[in-house]
Each structure stands twice: as C-alpha cells, then as structure tokens.
Amino acid sequence: MKKSLVLLLSLIAVTSGLLAGCGGNNNNEGNNAAAGTNAPNNTAATNAPATEEPASAEPFEMTIRHTQVGADKQKRLAILQDVVNKVQEEVPGLTFKLDGVDSDVNRKEKLRGEMAAGNPPEVFDLFGSPDSKIYAKEGKLLDLTPILEELGIMDKFSNLDPFTYEGKIYGLPIGGSGEGFFYNKEYYASKGWSAPATFADLEKQLADIKADGKVPLAGASKAGWVPLMLANHLWSRYAGPDVTAKFATGEAKWSDPNVVKGFAKYREWVDNGYFKKGELGFEYAEYTTQFTSGEAILMYDGTWKSSVFKEGQSGEGLIGKVGFFNIPPVDGGVGDQTALMRDVNNGYGFSATAGEDERQLAAVKSFIKNMYNEEMQLRGLVEDGVLPAMKLDQSVLDANITDDLMKEIVAVLNSSASSFPAFDSLVQADVTTEISNIQIQKLIGGQTTPEKMGEALQKVQEEANAAVE
C-alpha cells in the first residue's frame, strides 16, 4: 500500500514537472507575445521625432526556422549562427530562437500548417516556386522590395524570379546550384580518359565502365526527384533548354518526339545496366555512398554535393580525386547544348507580420544585410560548396576558391552559355507528383515506354493547365 502510494506520488511529481516544463515554454511565449503586443506601443513611442533607445531595448524574441539539421549541414548552420549573433548585437533587446526542422518536413507540413493558422515564424526557410508565390498571393509574406532598395542590394542577385510575385520580391535565395556529372578522376586516370567532350564519348565510357565490372552511374530512385535530375537534363538537351517552361503554357508537350527522346535515352541507360540494380529501393544517401565507396564511377548530382568531398565529410577519401563535367551536346539536340540546369529556389522568407512591428522589421533588415553580402556568400561557397546567389566579381571568386573540385565546377558554370531551372519550379504540382512518384519509376521499372510516359504526363499537364485557366 505504502509502495503504491509512493509510486503514485512520484508519478504525480514527474507529471507535474513535465507539465511545468511545458508550461514554462508557454509562459515564455506568453511573455514574448506580450512583448510583441507591447511592441507597437513602444514603436509608436519611438516613432516620435526624438527616438529614445532605452524604450526599444526591451527584450523581444523572434524565431528563425532553418533546415540546417544533420552532420552535412553543420557548416551552413555555423554561417547562420554567425549572422544571428551579428543581428542580435545590432538590434537591442532581440533574441533569436533557432528552430531547426528537416527541409521536407518544414516545406510540406510545418510551414504550411503555420501559414494556414496564421502563425509562421518571423524568419523561415522558404522554397521559391511555387511555394513563395502561393504564400505571397495570400499576403502571408513580407514584401522585401523596399528593404532591398534601402540596402542597395536589389540588383546584386543573379536571379530572383522564383521569389518574385507580381513584380515584388518575397524571398531571397541563400545560394544556387548547378547539376552535372561528378566523376572518379582516379579511375578515369587509370583508363587514360578525360572528361567526355562529346555525347558519344560519354556513352562509350559508360559502356566500358560496365564492361569493367563497375557501376557506371550511381542510382537511387526511391525518391523520384533523384533520377529526374538526370532525366530533366537529358530531355532538355534533346528538346531544348526552354522546353520545360513551355509545358505549362501549352507551347510544348511532354509527348513531343524530342522530349520522348530524352526519356528513351534514360531508359536505354537503365536497360544497359548503367545504374545500380535495385535502385528503386535506395534512398538518396545511398546514391552518394555508391560514389564515395568507389562502386559507381559517375554520379549525376547538384553542385551542393561538393561539400561531401571535404575534410571530415563522408567523401573525405576522394578529396582531389573528383571531377565535374556538364552533359556533352547530343546529336540533333535543340537549342544551346551547353545549357546547365541551375536553381536558386531555396532561401529565406519573412512573415508579413514582421513588417507590422518596427523592431522586428529592423531585425529583418539587419538579418538580410548580414546574411546577403559578399563575405557570407563566399563562406557558403568555400565552406559549404553552395554557389553564390549574389553576383560576385570573378577576381574575388578566383582569389577565394582553392578547392580543385570547386574550381572545376566554376569552370563548367562559366563555360555554359545559358541555364534553365529544374522542371519542378516550372510545372504545376500535379505534374511534378505524376512524374516524380509514378512515371519516372515506371520508366525505370520497365512498366511503361518513353512514348506512353510522354502521353501520360501530357494528359496530367493539360488537366493542370485547364485548372489554371
């Protein structure tokens, strides 16, 4: 009896402790909320001609939702942390609360729920197209145009299209990426090869690697976007770099013969056994492992992957042994055959409510000023392998890039005459779902033909286009 009583009391004590812990957070939020609600009064007071600092130094908190979670993103997190420290120094009373969430969870679940409920964090990781446009249309995002003009960095960005809605800018890309082939230089050297200059050379190399008993191309297609990186580049080579942008306007069709040629080439490579068998069951992490372990000789991936080939990372063993090249021109291909697939679709957005509070607005301005400058962009490039989203002088780049792989990547970027964004920022979400979750996996699994794939996609595309109209 006594024992039961002690147990019961302990349980009550632990539960109370837990509840108190949870309550503590709420209290903080409550205080912050109170601070937030007081803020307009404070700012109203400080709006008076003689602005008094002490009044605005009252503590207030803002949340930054970031996606720098996991070992591979520690360098990016360190950059963010440095920016946070600088902003906190500049804005009296400000404390930033860092809320790290997995990128996919943030994008597809958490942020959407918060947007619907009207309580997103003040600063958050944001996808450009289509997410930022949908949120901007609903008035959920802070218009950054006046801030960029005030800071004088309006024209410093390479491309803000994914974050632009009705001429206004609602988000800023943190970096850019380009996609191409990473290749094992050591293996290539042992064969006396160099990066292929023609498509025929590339195919010859793939066949020879296969004959050598190695896996020519890393493959992990459990998530459809992974094989679609290469497939997207292939259909853009055959049908032109601008073809994907024309699907949503009806100017081009997925079933066009040149687009189908791209699907057919991918299927041909699958049939030739150029990808690791069983790829439909492998996660993206396995993709990298196939390459870093030396099992696969080539890996088609984004330039962000270069960060893996640094000290202390999973590809450490391949430092200095990895090269990068663009897909060579294809015979009969349409348009610029040097075009590179490049994206600037991920960055930071700010809640519209942050614009209603003068102190929060000051914090947003300070955050943008400290995050989007030459120093931070270079740190992103050098430490994390993320291409700058802002225009940087070539001499500055040359002076800062010491990594051989990064030098090769920059050379590839410079040698491509044009670029095009990935399909998922150009077509409607329904089409993305269809090609990512069904059609590309059917093509790999041999359950559809390139022609049928084109027709199926075109059907979904037409429905999506009609829905927009």
Partner 1 sequence: MNKALRSPLVFILFVIPALVLFLMFFIYPIFSSLYYSLTSWNGVSETVKYTGFDNYTKALGDERFWVSVKNNGCFILFSVFIQVPLIVFFSLLIANVKKLKGLYKTAVFMPSIMSTAVIGILWGFIYEPNIGLFNNILGLFGIEPVYWLSDERFAMLSILITNAWQWTGFYIVMVLAAILAIPRELEEAAAIDGATGFQRATRITLPLIVPIISVVIMLSIAGAMKAADIVIVMTKGGPAGSTEVMATYMIKYAITNFKYGYGNTIAVLIFVFTLVVTVLYQLLFARRSERIEY
Residues that bind partner 1 (CB under 8 A): 108-109, 112, 115-116, 130, 134-135, 137-138, 140, 222-224, 277-282, 429-430, 432-433, 437-439, 441-442, 444-445, 447
Shortest spacing between CB 290 and partner 1, in angstroms: 11
Q: Which is nearer to partner 1, 280 or 319 (CB)?
A: 280
Q: Which is nearer to partner 1, 112 or 246 (CB)?
A: 112
Q: Which is nearer to partner 1, 280 or 401 (CB)?
A: 280
Q: Which is nearer to partner 1, 219 or 333 (CB)?
A: 219
Q: Which is nearer to partner 1, 268 or 295 (CB)?
A: 295
Q: Which is nearer to partner 1, 377 or 441 (CB)?
A: 441
In one letter, which amino acid is 72? D
Total number of residues shown for the chain: 469
Q: How far apart are CA 346 and CA 350, in angstroms?
A: 13
For residue 216, whether the previous peptide bond is cis, meaning omega lies within 30 degrees of 0, is no
Q: Which is nearer to partner 1, 272 or 447 (CB)?
A: 447
Q: Which is nearer to partner 1, 132 or 255 (CB)?
A: 132
Shortest spacing between CB 318 and partner 1, in angstroms: 21
Q: Which residues contact 219 (CB under 8 A, 6 or more apart)?
A: 227, 275, 276, 279, 282, 287, 290, 296
Q: How far apart are CA 367 and CA 90, in angstroms?
A: 10
Shortest spacing between CB 350 and partner 1, in angstroms: 16
Shortest spacing between CB 275 and partner 1, in angstroms: 11
Q: Which is nearer to partner 1, 241 or 355 (CB)?
A: 355
Shortest spacing between CB 139 and partner 1, in angstroms: 9
Shortest spacing between CB 112 and partner 1, in angstroms: 6
Q: Which is nearer to partner 1, 75 or 107 (CB)?
A: 107
Q: Which is nearer to partner 1, 119 or 415 (CB)?
A: 119
Asked whether the beta carbons of 69 and 100 are under 8 A apart, the reply is yes
CA dihedral 382, 387, 392, 397 (to 10 degrees): 40
Q: Which is nearer to partner 1, 13 or 105 (CB)?
A: 105
Shortest spacing between CB 443 and partner 1, in angstroms: 9
Q: Give the per-residue SS3 of the chain.
A: CHHHHHHHHHHHHHHHHHHHHHHHHHHHHHHHHHHHHHHHHHHHHHCCCCCCHHHHCCCEEEEEEECCCCHHHHHHHHHHHHHHHHHHHHCCCEEEEEEECCHHHHHHHHHHHHHHHCCCCCEEEEEHHHHHHHHHHCCCECCCHHHHHHHCCCCCECCCHHHEECCEECEEECCEEEEEEEEEHHHHHHHCCCCCCCHHHHHHHHHHHHHCCCEEECCCCCCCHHHHHHHHHHHHHHHCCCHHHHHCCCCCCCCCHHHHHHHHHHHHHHHCCCECCCHHHCCHHHHHHHHHCCCEEEEEEEHHHHHHCCCCCCCHHHCCCEEEECCCCCCCCCCCCCCEEEECCEEEEEEHHHHHCHHHHHHHHHHHHHHCCHHHHHHHHHHHCCECCECCCHHHHHHHCCCHHHHHHHHHHHHCCCEECCHHHCCCHHHHHHHHHHHHHHHHHCCCCHHHHHHHHHHHHHHHHHHHC
Shortest spacing between CB 223 and partner 1, in angstroms: 6
Shortest spacing between CB 221 and partner 1, in angstroms: 8
Shortest spacing between CB 46 and partner 1, in angstroms: 32
Shortest spacing between CB 358 and partner 1, in angstroms: 26
Asked whether the beta carbons of 124 and 368 are under 8 A apart, the reply is no
Nearest to 340 by CA among 178, 465, 103, 112: 178
Shortest spacing between CB 461 and partner 1, in angstroms: 14
